Amino acid sequence: MLTYGNAFYQLKEKLQSLYEEGEASSIAHSLMESITSLNKMDRLDKKDKAFTQRQQDVYNRATEELVKGKPIQYVTNGAWFMGREFMVNEHVLIPRPETEELVQWITDDLKAREDEKIKIIDIGTGSGCIALSLFRMLPHPVLTCLDISAEALNVLQTNIEWVLGEEEKDKHPENIRVAAIDFLDEAVRNKELGRYDIIVSNPPYIPKSEKKKMRVNVTNYEPHIALFVPDKDPLVFYKALADFGKKHLRTEGYVYCELDAGHAEESKALFEQEGYAEVEIRKDMHGNWRMLKAALGDKEISNG
């Protein structure tokens, strides 16, 4: 059997054909922690300890998947977001640190409204990382989670049980609604969905022509339905979000969404053209235009 130390270095070496050294090291550490339940320092103290047969079998299977480019999060079925681990698989996107910035923007904006019952709809919820993080961080949330994928909603249901503590689940057991909806179908999205204080979405926004420039660990494993849009209409989801907001935002309500940096200014202009009085875009930690916030201001909401 491999020792903890040998297993780490063996995997790191194999992964360096796919990743830079730092990323290969990080992936190897993640797998070793998942297998041994020990952090880096504790494993260093036990670097000469040998795997059990079960641990060796798990390591062997995981290594086969990782060297093919499968993301570590899909191998271990876990990804950290806003301080909690979420269950993930190939039916949902892997949560990114940049998305945490969007969640933080929303919660910062809502600090002045702590006494209100905030109604939130998360469109294209996937794993539920955005929605459930907001549910945890706000005092009186009412949550609606939409996705076109039944498989993604199965992951969400698991995360409702996994991510929310017993106190959080018991506090608002009736305040999470889940529905399978094709958001691009105007008739469907405007039927019985009510009004919301916050509309949030990390929609598909990558033009299909960009696929060839992307890494195989994304294109071969993450769900294309959550990633790509037609080259001829890259703003298709932002058009739907802007339309939905005009019909379903409550007074002092906002739309928040992630952006494709290459279409950030176009997305801002779209919301302005659709009648939104306040539209702001922000850069992420890497300096890319990645987030948008829009409000109708004093404009009247239609009954649509």
Residue 304's pLDDT band, with cuts at 50, 70 and 90, is very low
Does residue 241 share a domain with residue 164?
Answer: yes
Is 225 contained in some domain? Answer: yes
CATH for 244: 3.40.50.150
Q: What is the pLDDT of residues 145-159, one digit of tens each?
A: 999 999 999 999 999
What integer pLDDT is reported at residue 29 of this predicted model? 97
User: Is residue 272 one of the residues assigned to a domain?
Assistant: yes
For the cut 50, the answer to whether the pLDDT of residue 257 exceeds it is yes
Assess whether 19 and 146 both reside in one domain. Answer: no
Q: Is residue 164 part of a domain?
A: yes
Q: Is 76 part of any domain?
A: no
* pLDDT grade for 303, boundaries at 50, 70 and 90: very low
Residues 64 and 99 in one domain: no
The chain-wide mean pLDDT, for the chain, equals 92
Does residue 302 lie in a domain region?
Answer: no
d(CA 87, CA 66): 18
Which of 68, 102, 119 is a domain's end point?
Answer: 68
Query: Could you read off the pLDDT of 193-204 as tens digits, one per residue?
Result: 889 999 999 999
> What total of structural domains would you count in the chain?
2
Question: What is the domain extent for residue 43?
Answer: 4-68
156 and 269 part of one domain: yes
- Calculate helix-pair angle for 4-15, 53-66, nearest 10 degrees: 10
Cβ 12 vs Cβ 67: under 8 Å: no
Same domain, 41 and 102: no
Q: Between 174 and 69, where is the model more confident?
A: 69
Confidence category of residue 114, pLDDT binned at 50, 70, 90: confident
Q: Are the C-beta atoms of 254 and 199 separated by less than 8 Å?
A: yes
Do residues 52 and 102 share a domain? Answer: no
- Strand-pairing partners, residue 251, are none
Domain boundary among 15, 36, 68: 68
Specify whether 142 is located in the same domain as 223. yes
* 31 and 144 part of one domain: no
How confident is the model at residue 300, as a pLDDT? 47
Is pLDDT of 167 > 80?
no
Last residue of a domain, one of 68, 84, 116: 68
Domain-embedded: residue 79? no
For 216-230, the pLDDT digits (tens) are 889 999 999 999 999
* Domain match, 207 and 283 both: yes
Count helices and strands (H / E) in the chain.
Answer: 13, 11
Domain co-membership, 55 together with 155 = no
Structure confidence at residue 301 (pLDDT): 45
Q: Does residue 259 lie within any of the structural domains?
A: yes
DSSP run (H or E) holding 297: none
Predicted local confidence at residue 275, as pLDDT: 94
pLDDT at position 159: 95
Q: Do 43 and 99 lie in a common domain? A: no
Same domain, 146 and 221: yes
